[in-house]
A = this chain, B = another copy of it.
Amino acid sequence: MKTITLANAKITDVAREAGLSVATVSRVLNQQDIVSAASRQRVLEAIERLGYRPNLLAGHLRRKQTRTLGVVISDIMNPHFTEMVRAVEDAAYRSGYRVLLCNTDESSEKEADYLQLLSAERTGGVIASPSDPADSEFARLLDLGIPVVAIDRPLADERAHSVLSDNAGAAALATRHLLAAGHEVVGLVAGPEHRFTGRERTRGYLDAMREAGREPRLALGDFQIDGGRRATRELLDGPRPTALVVANNLMTIGALEVLNDSGVRLPQDMALVAIDDPFWATAVHPRLTTLAQPVEAMAEAAVTLLTQRDQDAEGGPRHETFQFELHVRDSCGTRQGR
């Protein structure tokens, strides 16, 4: 038994049903103003009767543009990127755009693959935190006139926009906060050297330590939970710091675990400031002092750059930098209780 398919009417069916031309139907579907009230009424009724749903594919081909944004990120399971994707989706939806999710797992190959696809689909724009900043696929996109905004990490191609945050400044701020509280040995659970955000945050930390005339004490992690564990153990083993800056949210989980296992209490035995402000930061004990990126504002900025480009078409690429915000809570030990 097969049920008869009723739907799948096309614009010609609607035109026939309404006794008008396809041009008129198309007009009520789009630039509604040029059609007489009577015609519009008949078209609307015909659409209703037929259950007509315009085929956007055809419209996009004809108009040579789509309202889809590609979002290329390395790891959606990282809460920072989850938040970013969520914020981008939100901003895109409000602007009448949709989001094609491209998760690359930090694989340059998968990234290139997705970028190629996005150009073939003639996507309306791409927001990317590039695994490979020099990927030539970005150039192809730009060649085709598809705007690109680098988020979180910069892109080599100078035609791309960028929406970054002040990573070095954030790490310096965290370090200084701890230094000002009287800590002499402030350790850094650092991000990897080969990641822009890792390098930048390390740089900020080093600057602040040098500025204070303190000896830096850092261990390299991988921005993952396990790297946080390893780096924290390494720091505990040497000349033990009394305060720690942890370079991202995933490593913070590992650091907290190791500290706890080693009987090191926060903030009495060890003060801690974490970069990133994950949703669970206020649910652990003590509540985490963090440096939060204004993720929503950044997503909004990125989407705006892609969707409102007509207004400033000739303005060239824009580069926006956002500041982190310090949330002083309990793990740093600087609030009254210390």
Q: Which residues of A contact B (CB under 8 A)?
A: 5-8, 51, 53-58, 60-61, 66, 68, 71, 76-77, 82-83, 85-86, 89-90, 93, 98-103, 110, 114, 116-117, 119-122, 140, 143-145, 225, 253-254, 256-257, 260, 279-280, 283-285
Q: List 15 A-B contacts (CB under 8 A).
A: A6-B143, A7-B140, A51-B140, A53-B144, A56-B121, A57-B60, A57-B122, A89-B101, A89-B103, A93-B110, A98-B100, A100-B101, A256-B283, A257-B283, A257-B285
Name the CB-closest residue of B to A77: B86
> Would you call B117 and A7 a contact (CB within 8 A)?
no
Name the CB-closest residue of B to A55: B122
Name the CB-closest residue of B to A6: B143
Complex Cα gap A51–B119 (Å): 12
Q: Give which listed residue, B55, B99, B114, B257, contacts A101 with CB less than 8 A.
A: B99
> Would you call B76 and A85 a contact (CB within 8 A)?
yes
> Would you call A99 and B100 a contact (CB within 8 A)?
yes
Q: Give which listed residue, B7, B76, B102, contacts A98 with CB less than 8 A.
A: B102
Q: Which residues of B contact A121 (CB under 8 A)?
A: 56-57
Q: Which residues of B contact A55 (CB under 8 A)?
A: 61, 120, 122
Q: Give which listed residue, B101, B117, B120, B145, contacts A85 with CB less than 8 A.
A: B101
Q: Which residues of B contact A256 (CB under 8 A)?
A: 283
Q: Which residues of B contact A90 (CB under 8 A)?
A: 103
> Would you call A61 and B53 a contact (CB within 8 A)?
no
The verdict on A283 contacting B89 (CB below 8 Å), with A100-B100, A102-B98 known, is no
Q: Which residues of B contact A284 (CB under 8 A)?
A: 284
Complex Cα gap A85–B89 (Å): 14
Q: Which of A8, A280, A283 has the most CB of B within 10 A?
A: A283
Q: Which residues of B contact A8 (CB under 8 A)?
A: 143-145
Name the CB-closest residue of B to A99: B101
> Would you call B77 and A253 a contact (CB within 8 A)?
no
Complex Cα gap A19–B140 (Å): 25
Q: Which residues of B contact A257 (CB under 8 A)?
A: 283, 285
Complex Cα gap A98–B71 (Å): 12
Q: Could you tell me the distance in whole angstroms from the C-beta of A269 to the nearest C-beta in chain B? A: 16
The verdict on A77 contacting B82 (CB below 8 Å), with A57-B57, A280-B280 known, is yes
Complex Cα gap A257–B260 (Å): 16
Q: Could you tell me the distance in whole angstroms from the C-beta of A258 to the nearest C-beta in chain B? A: 10
Complex Cα gap A86–B256 (Å): 26
Q: Which residues of B contact A61 (CB under 8 A)?
A: 55, 57-58, 61
